[in-house]
Structure 1
Amino acid sequence: MNAIDGLAGGLAPQEVSLDVLREKYAHGSERSIGDVRRRVAHALAALEPESVRAEHEARFVRAQQQGFVPAGRINAAAGRQLRATLINCFVQPVGDAITGSDDGLPGIYTALAEAAETLRRGGGVGYDFSAIRPHGSKVHGTASQASGPVSYMEVFDASCRTVESAGARRGAQMGVLRVDHPDIERFIAAKDGGALTNFNISVGVTDAFMRAVENDAGFELVHRAEPGDELLAAGSHRREDGLWVYRTVRARMLWESIMLSTYDHAEPGVLFIDRMNLENNLWYCERLAATNPCGEQPLPAYGCCDLGSLNLTAFVDAPFTPDARLDFERLREVATVAVRMLDLVLDATEWPLAQQKLEAHQKRRIGLGFLGLGSALVMLGLRYDSEAGRAMAARIAEELRDSAYAASIDLAREKGAFPLFDADQYLRGQFVARLPQALRDAIREHGIRNSHLLSIAPTGTISLAFADNASNGIEPPYAWTYLRKKRTADGGTRSYEVADHAWRLYRQAGNDMEELPPSFVTALEMRALDHLRMVQAVQPFIDTAISKTVNVPEDYPYDDFRGLYLEAWRAGLKGLATYRPNTVLGSVLSIAPRPDAQSNTVPAADPEQPVALPDDDPLRKRFERRPLGELESVTSKIEYSTQEGRKSAYLTVSFLRTEGVWEGRPVAIERPFEFFMPANQRTGGHQWITASMRLLSMVARAGGPIARALADMRDVVWEKGPVRCGHLLREDGVAVPVYHDSEVAAIAFMLQRILIRRGFLDEQGNQAPVPQLARAFAARSGMGADVGKPAPQPAAVANTEDALPALSSTNGAKCPECGARALRKVDGCTRCASCHYVGECG
């Protein structure tokens, strides 16, 4: 580094780097990287004995100049006399009780309050919700049935959205559910309709489940809570170990539902929890069930992530030349100082909860990793997706491991080992057993200061602010130049053109930018398997985990995608996350337009172009639409009875006519566009009525899943008792009254009836297929009967939504899960088009 505020190679800071630095990390009179580094060094050195404080402060500044980048919370808050934590992420335990505690775990609302305090102080939170009893299980205290973990996740999601993190940092959460939990299918689909926006979600997968997948065997979904009477009547039973078996599923079909959701929505992620525990240094005194929000730290209850990274580009000498090399001696020196700094962070931080402080001080976990691997390999002339690139990454990780463990042993000699250290047990750990014998001997003799030392985290904003946009963590560069969208204070967005650090250095050296060397390879220019192989090469040297996203192109074959996860498990990885771009997920990063590369051009939005519908909308598969004509409205008077008496209201649904192309043929349909219900002023205005109608209207105007939104509303329960509203015809023609769990549910039912009569929904409230909508619209508008008639479909249909017939409820068998007559044979298996239940196959 040239100077305290300089960048490698004498590069001037990029505009986005300065903006991110000053917005997130520099405060008061601080204007440069150097100002932040000095503040952090001074704050941590203040915890050393006064006689050596100045010496350590100078070492801490120098280590940051040479390539150590503390995590974002440390750079943002150290030395600022704030009550914000310096720790990035935590795991919050959640029990099954409403309040108090359950089997040593805090009850749901106790955990909610603790998590809110952690989020408020600036920490992200991970949770394992598996202790919460399943939907439909007994709640003996109130003689009722449980609503299940997904419903409580919505409460945690709302809390996170409401509580502003310290420094205006958006709260981050990770929700985990074990694959053997009876609500696992609900969990997998929990985000499909746009819910849980403040959560990443991952399934905790066991080795037993993966073996069942390989063997195409049955797999039991179990819980310690007793099932409800209906579930018992359906066959739920208790095992000898005391757990209740709710039902047995075909493991491959459950795995398929995880894979399909991940392929379409990039979630849920997969955590191989048995591998996490097998490799845990503290296997003898803790159990891992969840991770922090980005997945690089499997943590026990109240565990924390104390993170920092080495910027690998700062250790490359003579880049882009035959003499390019990585200075391992300097890397070892900086890593040694970084371990000391991170250990001090545990004493310098404000802890949101006393339990977190105790947990951290008992084990003194830290997570030193690296950033800029992709950029550094380019500077060394090595392709990220080559054997040579993986070998270099593995050597870096091994050198980092040995240096960090040696430094922690030295700290133990000086300050003492972590309190829960047990030499015999610790040295029996599977990861520790792979350490060089000299380190193992030193651990037995002197102990070790920190139970865990290594973690490779995502480093997005600190890479921008402190490393000139060196590549993120272990990742390869996303693109050499790209546009980055950034939220502004007024709620808008601003786009910056950002360049990769290695690309800038190469350009500054006067090289030909039209003919980049082979080492310049980006994330989407390599095979997905090569992303996986990089994690496989590095993971043996990392004692916790690695945050790595396997990028796959939009047209990546599904069978190959599914194979990635099986390969990850067989390779002994601790988890896997993938990203396949699509219209639902969008992107924070967009490749900048380049006149010489048509494939990289980002066209401007054209209001005259058809509007893309969400991937989970049955209209989307082959139908693009544009508005046509005026709105047509339908108003219906409804009457319903509650314990407060009889009520009446008017519901209005406005429809928008649209036209498009289906299977290459022009069609016209209509969709709901606006929902309206006047609030009853005599009962206080019913703000929930206005809010519900506005939200439904927003979903409709965005082309979202109306059927799913109304189904969710019908699940809303209140404490005032049942609501009688509407009638349904039995098969014998007798009209029977319908009872609902709340006024919201009753109104959703009546809205469904309006849409069913209009032909937009079928009798079960499911989305009608496009051909049926086109025929209904043609009949109403007096157009020919053949308008919109689709081409004949093949017998075998790959997508269940394409397989939905254009008729009513009598076309399907009754679903054992939800009761809808929507159970049909698809791809050799019985599937419910209403709740996505999968039954027998073959």
Structure 2
Amino acid sequence: MNSLPPPNSPAPVSENIWRRKYRFGSETGVEETWERVAKAVAAAEPVDQDVWASRFHELLSDYRFLPGGRILANAGTERNATLLNCFVMGRLDDSIDGLFDALKESAITLQAGGGIGLDFSPVRPAGAAAVRTGNIASGPVSFMHLWDAMCETMTADRARRGAMMAVLRCDHPDIETFIDAKIQTGALSRFNLSVLVTDKFIRAVDADSDWPLVIEGQVIRVLKARTLWMKILRSAFDTGEPGILFIDRINQENNLGYTESIHASNPCGEVPLPPYGACDLGSLNLTHFVRQPLTPDATFDFNEVANAARLGVRFLDNVLDVSHYPLDVQAQQAHESRRIGLGITGLADALIMLGLAYDSNDGREFTARVLGTMRNAAYEASVELADEKGSFPLFEKDAFLDRPFTRRLPEELRRAIRKKGIRNSHLMAVAPTGSISLLAGNVSAGIEPVFASNVSRRMRRSDGGYDVVDIEDFACRFWRETGGEGLPPAFVTAGGLSPEAHLAMQATAQDFIDNAISKTINANADIAFETFANVYRRAYDLGLKGCTVYRQGSRGEDVLTTVTEGAKCMSDTC
């Protein structure tokens, strides 16, 4: 048990996912994919492109660093497809011309392979009169159905479904209709939904005070804040949606809060973005850095994590320059801020391999140390890149260093930024990493706990249908193949953890993340509603930027099914 399984002989699911999603042309193995991607990303370097291609290839070839899926699928292919996983679209103009222009922009972006986020709050509520025509507005949810149908049409023949996030402010007059929009099975199936929750609304809930619903400053009607809050929670309990984005906190913590306002996020919530902003994502596979795993002498190589983080920052920064952008305004926004999102995957498996419980102070302290090491290395690398290639164009030294997140950086880093500038406005994000974690041998995804030791997973085919594939957790497979009996001692499943344990890990991670975190708090089907409801308020108190709780079985047929002897339970963790 002194080393990981050979990197070139991963689990069968790795070959499966590579063939379905990332193989290009006549590539005969994943090594050829690494070579293609490394060479394409190194093309952004002004000198020594071969040297950087070799370094990037080494970073990729043992599954140490896993770029976002669009990078793996499209880099070096000469396809007219983006390398960026997701975008937030521009602010919607409440007019027929404006809305259908936005629909067209969304279609172009989805066609190029990007998921999208949209804030429907500017759209007038149903029943409002149109000033110029006298027609009666149909409301934001009716337009969401147009986007949903468009997305289905644009992506019906792909192995990767089109992903969209719709958000609506908690004070919009149609907020109740929005909350109920997915109660009917199959409705708006291409959308995730989140409510933009403000600090003022939380205070009104606490005070049980009235809550005005407004549009353009005009109060349309008033209801009790607590009544609306409970409606949000009841829908989430019954259907798994909507999630919640604490939008004031997102803007307060934004490194670019001095020059932009955020109203939406990408489809999984880990990157809140301004209009036309983009996600440029990659994750370090933490299982790779465990030495002597599943033994009493197991250790973690923090120096190597720092080295990988530094090189990962350069890789992702280059992606911004070699990517195709569906819209010119998206390219402009990406190049002005140079946002990237370096994250992690395999956290839960790394904890198991180190003998640390996910729900323990030791487990959370380890996570904090890993992410603190990565944050510092990432910011150091971005400072050095700025010295070499220049700071991002929107950088204003004093304003940037006066933001809440940058004020919490180590003083040595702050001095370096003040002296040399910084290449990227944001550097850290924790994505869900569903497919790339499968590519790495089914390591645990993102910061999520392991769902189960063995699962049956629905995997989408290019014709839109699904295959069901049985897969084994990476750490459990390693334990079994090296002579372990039963399950590893520190093994725990998502369903075996309390909601508080999920929240505690997310809160630990958020301290080190300047973007945000994609995290689903899995709850058992029989959880009491009162317990479920308390999770959202606790998330706010812990300083999180958003919260999604999924109660097992609340969405009907799901992606993952636990493989047991005679019993099955389901949860959606993609």
**TM-score category by the smaller chain?**
over 0.9
- For 2:170 and 2:119, the matched residues in 1 are separated by 12
Which residue matches 1:184?
175
Which residue matches 1:477?
450
Which residue matches 1:371?
345
Which residue matches 1:729?
none
Which residue matches 1:53?
49
Which residue matches 2:20?
23
**8 Å contact 2:4–2:478 — kept in the other structure?**
no
**Corresponding position: 1:302 with 2:270:** no
Which residue matches 2:188?
196
Larger mean Cα displacement after TM superposition, 347-356 or 186-195:
186-195
Which residue matches 2:215?
223
Instruction: Supply the AA of the counterpart residue of 2:448.
Output: E
Question: Cα–Cα, structure 1 residues 374 and 287, in superposed 2: closer, same or farther, change >3 Å?
Answer: same
- For 1:488 and 1:126, the matched residues in 2 are separated by 24
**Corresponding position: 1:494 with 2:467:** yes
Shift of 1:317: 0.4
Which residue matches 1:160?
151
**8 Å contact 1:346–1:360 — kept in the other structure?**
yes
Shift of 1:491: 5.2
**8 Å contact 1:371–1:470 — kept in the other structure?**
yes
The superposition leaves residues 671-706 of structure 1 with CA deviations (integer Å, 9 ceiling, x where unpaired) of: xxxxxxxxxxxxxxxxxxxxxxxxxxxxxxxxxxxx
In structure 1, runs of 5+ residues without a counterpart are: 101-106, 225-242, 603-842
- For 1:493 and 1:437, the matched residues in 2 are separated by 51
Which residue matches 1:694?
none
Shift of 1:63: 1.2
**Corresponding position: 1:531 with 2:508:** no
Question: Cα–Cα, structure 1 residues 61 and 477, in superposed 2: closer, same or farther, change >3 Å?
Answer: same
- For 1:490 and 1:408, the matched residues in 2 are separated by 42
The superposition leaves residues 692-734 of structure 1 with CA deviations (integer Å, 9 ceiling, x where unpaired) of: xxxxxxxxxxxxxxxxxxxxxxxxxxxxxxxxxxxxxxxxxxx
**Corresponding position: 1:448 with 2:422:** yes
Shift of 1:321: 1.2
Which residue matches 1:173?
164
TM-score, normalised relative to structure 2: 0.96
- For 2:83 and 2:569, the matched residues in 1 are separated by 41
Question: Cα–Cα, structure 1 residues 354 and 11, in superposed 2: closer, same or farther, change >3 Å?
Answer: closer
Shift of 1:428: 0.4
Instruction: Supply the AA of the counterpart residue of 1:132.
Output: V
Identity %: 49
**Corresponding position: 1:343 with 2:317:** yes
**8 Å contact 1:139–1:145 — kept in the other structure?**
yes
Which residue matches 1:151?
142
- Higher RCO (CA < 8 A, seq sep 6+): 2
- For 1:185 and 1:349, the matched residues in 2 are separated by 39
Question: Cα–Cα, structure 1 residues 464 and 96, in superposed 2: closer, same or farther, change >3 Å?
Answer: same
**8 Å contact 1:382–1:519 — kept in the other structure?**
yes
Superposed counterparts of 1:5-16, under 5 Å: 8-9=5-6, 12-16=9-13
Instruction: Supply the AA of the counterpart residue of 1:25.
Output: Y
Which residue matches 2:524?
553
**8 Å contact 1:119–1:165 — kept in the other structure?**
no
- For 1:369 and 1:581, the matched residues in 2 are separated by 27
Shift of 1:408: 0.3
The structure with more radius of gyration: 1
Shift of 1:430: 0.2
Question: Cα–Cα, structure 1 residues 76 and 593, in superposed 2: closer, same or farther, change >3 Å?
Answer: same
Which residue matches 1:727?
none
- For 1:88 and 1:261, the matched residues in 2 are separated by 28
Superposed counterparts of 1:604-643, under 5 Å: none
Shift of 1:584: 4.0
Which residue matches 2:86?
89
> Per the alignment, in what secondary structure is the counterpart of residue 282 of structure 2?
strand
> Per the alignment, in what secondary structure is the counterpart of residue 49 of structure 2?
helix
- For 2:452 and 2:215, the matched residues in 1 are separated by 46
TM-score, normalised relative to structure 1: 0.66
Of 512, 522, 525 in structure 1, the residue corresponding to residue 493 of structure 2 is 522
- For 1:184 and 1:113, the matched residues in 2 are separated by 25
Which residue matches 2:262?
288
Shift of 1:188: 0.3
> Per the alignment, in what secondary structure is the counterpart of residue 176 of structure 1?
strand
**Corresponding position: 1:314 with 2:288:** yes
**8 Å contact 1:94–1:108 — kept in the other structure?**
no
- For 2:492 and 2:511, the matched residues in 1 are separated by 25
Of 232, 246, 249 in structure 2, the residue corresponding to residue 272 of structure 1 is 246
Instruction: Supply the AA of the counterpart residue of 2:532.
Output: F
- For 2:569 and 2:166, the matched residues in 1 are separated by 36
- For 2:42 and 2:141, the matched residues in 1 are separated by 45
- For 2:529 and 2:271, the matched residues in 1 are separated by 29
Of 204, 210, 216 in structure 2, the residue corresponding to residue 212 of structure 1 is 204
Which residue matches 1:36?
33
- For 2:420 and 2:453, the matched residues in 1 are separated by 47
**8 Å contact 1:121–1:165 — kept in the other structure?**
no
Question: Cα–Cα, structure 1 residues 134 and 489, in superposed 2: closer, same or farther, change >3 Å?
Answer: closer
Question: Cα–Cα, structure 1 residues 519 and 11, in superposed 2: closer, same or farther, change >3 Å?
Answer: farther
Instruction: Supply the AA of the counterpart residue of 1:528.
Output: P
> Per the alignment, in what secondary structure is the counterpart of residue 202 of structure 1?
strand
**8 Å contact 2:382–2:423 — kept in the other structure?**
yes
> Per the alignment, in what secondary structure is the counterpart of residue 155 of structure 1?
helix
Question: Cα–Cα, structure 1 residues 28 and 517, in superposed 2: closer, same or farther, change >3 Å?
Answer: closer
In structure 2, runs of 5+ residues without a counterpart are: none
> Per the alignment, in what secondary structure is the counterpart of residue 550 of structure 1?
strand
Superposed counterparts of 1:298-697, under 5 Å: 298-465=272-439, 467-489=440-462, 492-513=465-486, 516-582=487-553, 584-594=555-565, 598-600=566-568
Instruction: Supply the AA of the counterpart residue of 2:504.
Output: R
**8 Å contact 1:122–1:167 — kept in the other structure?**
no
Larger mean Cα displacement after TM superposition, 152-161 or 14-23:
14-23
The superposition leaves residues 175-198 of structure 1 with CA deviations (integer Å, 9 ceiling, x where unpaired) of: 000000011000000111232111
Q: Hey, which of these two has a bigger chunk of helix by percent? A: 2
> Per the alignment, in what secondary structure is the counterpart of residue 278 of structure 1?
helix
- For 1:504 and 1:32, the matched residues in 2 are separated by 22
Larger mean Cα displacement after TM superposition, 79-88 or 159-168:
159-168
**8 Å contact 1:96–1:133 — kept in the other structure?**
no
- For 1:296 and 1:331, the matched residues in 2 are separated by 21
> Per the alignment, in what secondary structure is the counterpart of residue 155 of structure 2?
coil
Shift of 1:488: 3.6
- For 2:402 and 2:26, the matched residues in 1 are separated by 51
- Cα root mean square deviation, aligned: 1.7
Shift of 1:10: 6.0
**8 Å contact 1:22–1:31 — kept in the other structure?**
no
Larger mean Cα displacement after TM superposition, 504-513 or 115-124:
504-513
> Per the alignment, in what secondary structure is the counterpart of residue 392 of structure 2?
coil
Shift of 1:7: 7.0
Question: Cα–Cα, structure 1 residues 301 and 61, in superposed 2: closer, same or farther, change >3 Å?
Answer: same
Instruction: Supply the AA of the counterpart residue of 1:521.
Output: V
Shift of 1:9: 4.7
Shift of 1:361: 0.5
Shift of 1:474: 0.7
Q: Hey, which of these two has a bigger chunk of strand by percent? A: 1
